[in-house]
Structure 1
């Protein structure tokens, strides 16, 4: 095109700033069928996820209120900050690398927003209201019984599915047990939980019934960042302008001297964000590949080869070159390998039980009548497993020390929980060679050392 003015606005907003409602045509084709099966698999995993268990723990739970995170049956607490930080960094680098190589294929094929919008809510809309022409006609029609039951039925189903999605997402936060309790108990017993559930339902309904594709074009930061991450070698959904231009309508019994594009605009009609992919890569394109299927079906009708619109890089289209690994891709790959190596090391050395021992503030050492020195400590032990266990403390260094618990004869470490206590450490004066000695304590369970903790032991000058 000779002008780039199409980049100054988005298809869902007109010149007056008003919303332009899109009525995309129902997609069909090989890629769309593949997307459906991928979506069905991902939806199954999403809804089943909160109920699946590994070692008695959920596969995934992000309990922000309690600051407890579970990944593949392993509990991570705020004390695992460095592991979570490294995992986040590795994930971000992976997203950048994936986008640099494959463009926004995640958006079109894996993103929950796209899957729910295109494979659930849009398909329900097609079932109630028909394809794009029928939807447009129904939207303009007067309010008759036909329009009322179709619109009402569609939005009723939208609300029910939004409620189901809200339940699922809440289960990933608070767990299925807490969710079932909210649902089965009296509403007055869980007003906060019920309110959160209804709020989630309203948000999901608003997103999929009204906001729709504007999530991708306006709200999602990933779409905005793609312009920074993509380069001329990134694979995107691209129009082969060398083959397609100049465009010309197909006319019967007339010799054709133009390109293969017959300007049927089928690629525009099926686009869920309303763009014309022939203008080039655009912010709104989510790489859903619906335009590829539409174009290939037209190529079949006019006896032309597939691929006028296909997944390719700008350099592949312009120069006819094959995909290649650039220095940028290799650099990101190297960084990702390093981060994954560090993450693997942190995971392998991670302890299932973590203890923190601190000297009680404001307390000095005490001398006993039989020549020993005592210090008072506070203990906090976190259990990252799903198994409760009794624990005891032993002095590992310096030698000859004993531990005396205050107010209890023993400690029980609950599953997925924390045990706290106060205790004295008593050491012979002859074993202390400094006023500030290193103290090393062992936490034992049934005779097995499960973790260690370090602190300082204060003593008088000799």
Structure 2
């Protein structure tokens, strides 16, 4: 009997990783298929999430895809809002808000994200493993196929399976690329020679290879070895967090169904057979558990056949499983919730400050000021960015309190194309007699109705005024 088959019959141990054999080699898992209420809801939610992933680059909002991260032109379109590169500071509040939202969800429901919404779980369990079961059969047939010698049937099944895996990986990589270059541009590049856009072609090839490697071979190892969330979970949850657990009081001692004086658990190992990470949930909450609920549906099916109540394995808190009082509101939840609301509030208020245009003012390189026989001159570069999908007309006004000056460079309205930018020089001059020292200057960007869009402050520099006096 092959080593992998022997190792697979070894019961999982809480203190070791199930996917590692005694000799240190990799044990490939073949979880059994399962059906039930949670499995149905997970499949529906996975179909919805995959549909969202596929459709977002196709849905137009204000002339652009719903999500279009146009890195080449430094424009980011999110559900009708357009952000320029100068608006990327908002990403800090967005990322922190999402992070603390995940903290709140974890404190309440454990690794609900991992089992129900993580792309790794969604694609692996509801796409790749569905293909694998369709071609190679149930978990027992897949194990036998692994141990079987290479013959015509095995070669056909493996080539077919991996061919479909490669095709799906290419689809996922191309759709991901569409978020950055748009569907029309993607189609144009796909129908042209790879040498015309070799860097993009190389990106898709590498991305597809990584996706294929992950979902065809690496699989649960990403969750066990690379993803830090399982380790972070131990610091985020407490005994009142809703997790998947085994009711030890009800289930123990284990034994045959007809034996007197035993608990409800008949030690059928069905919960282990369906686990995508190969753990035994009856040994308690473990870092490998992704909260997928497969073991709940598997155990409920057995309880139905034995005409015993469901819930031997269920969603509950550790306190609930131990028969103790359960709490929903607790200090860490208030802390995580407050941080989440703080990030959401900051993000909302910051987004409200977004304008239809952006303007930067920098001093020209070279000397900070120039002196002529009649005046003192400062030179600036003004960059105006139109963030709208239509042309805009702007005027630039220069304002300085109690100071006489002239400004040149924006005598006429500035027309900026949709999503375009214009860079113009701005020259501010002060007569030698009127110069009384350096002073602040406000440079205002106005729209065609003379409404202030944005204002930037610069400083007019010059020497000591005494040096200019005759």
| TM norm structure 2 | 0.90
Pick from 393, 411, 415 the counterpart of residue 418 of structure 2. Answer: 415
State whether residues 359 and 456 of structure 1, in contact with CA within 8 Å, keep that contact through their aligned partners in structure 2.
no
Cross-structure match for 2:135:
128
Contact (CA 8 Å) 1:57, 1:74: kept in 2 or not?
no
- Answer yes or no: is the 8 Å Cα contact 2:439–2:459 preserved in 1: yes
SS in 2 for 1:8: coil
Distance 1:364 1:148 in 2: 74
C-alpha distance in 1, partners of 2:134/2:187? 32
Partner of 2:192: 185
**Aligned partners of 2:229, 2:126: CA distance in 1, in Å?**
21
**CA-CA distance at 1:60 after TM superposition:** 2.2
* Match runs of 1:137-216 below 5 Å: 137-216=144-223
Mapping of 1:320-339 within 5 angstroms?
320-339=324-343
Q: Distance in 2 between matches of 1:430 and 1:96?
A: 64
- Equivalent residues, number: 453
Name stretches of at least 5 consecutive residues in structure 1 with no aligned partner: none
Question: How far apart, in 2, do the equivalents of 1:55 and 1:411 lie?
Answer: 24
Point out the more displaced range, 86-95 or 124-133.
86-95
Matched, 1:35 2:42: yes
Structure 1 vs Structure 2 CA RMSD: 2.4
Tell me how far apart the structure 1 counterparts of residues 370 and 391 of structure 2 sit (CA, whole Å): 34
The DSSP-based 3-state class of the residue aligned with 1:387 is: coil
- Asked if 1:304 is matched to 2:308, the reply is yes
**Distance verdict in 2 for CA 1:25–1:204, change over 3 Å:** same
Alpha carbons 2:383, 2:424 under 8 Å: kept: yes
Distance 1:428 1:54, change over 3 A: farther
Contact 2:395 2:412 in 1 (8 A): no
Of 427, 441, 446, 1:444 maps to 446
2:55 aligned residue: 48
1:74 Cα deviation from its structure 2 partner: 2.1
Aligned to 1:285: 289
Q: 1:428 to 1:27 in 2, by over 3 A?
A: farther
Matched, 1:8 2:12: no
For 2:407 and 2:291, the matched residues in 1 are separated by 64
Partner of 2:385: 382
Q: 1:295 is matched with which residue?
A: 299
Deviations 1:299-335 (A, max 9, x none): 0111111110001110111134334211111121122
Query: 2:420 & 2:20 partners in 1: Cα distance?
Result: 52
Q: Deviations over 1:279-302 (max 9, x none)?
A: 111111111101100000110111
CA distance in 2, matches of 1:427, 1:415: 35
Distance 1:198 1:410 in 2: 48
8 Å contact 2:20–2:27 — kept in the other structure? yes
Q: Aligned match of 1:83 in 90, 96, 99?
A: 90
Residue 73 in 1 paired to residue 80 in 2? yes
2:57 is paired with a residue whose SS is helix
Provide the rounded CA distance (Å) in 2 between the counterparts of 1:233 and 1:175.
45
Instruction: Give the conservation status (yes or no) of the 8 Å contact 2:12–2:278.
Output: no
Cα distance in structure 2, aligned partners of 1:385 and 1:90: 27
3-state SS of paired residue (2:89): helix
Q: Whole-Å Cα distance in 2 between the matches of residues 417 and 30 of structure 1?
A: 52
Write out per-residue CA displacement over residues 177-202 of structure 1, whole angstroms, 9 at most, x where no aligned residue: 43223212222111111111111111
Residues 227-274 of structure 1: per-residue CA shift (max 9 Å, x gap): 2212111111111111111111223xx5x2111111111111111111
Q: Is the 8 A contact 1:394 1:402 kept in 2?
A: no
In structure 2, distance between residues paired with 1:115 and 1:365: 61
Pair 1:266-2:273 in alignment:
no
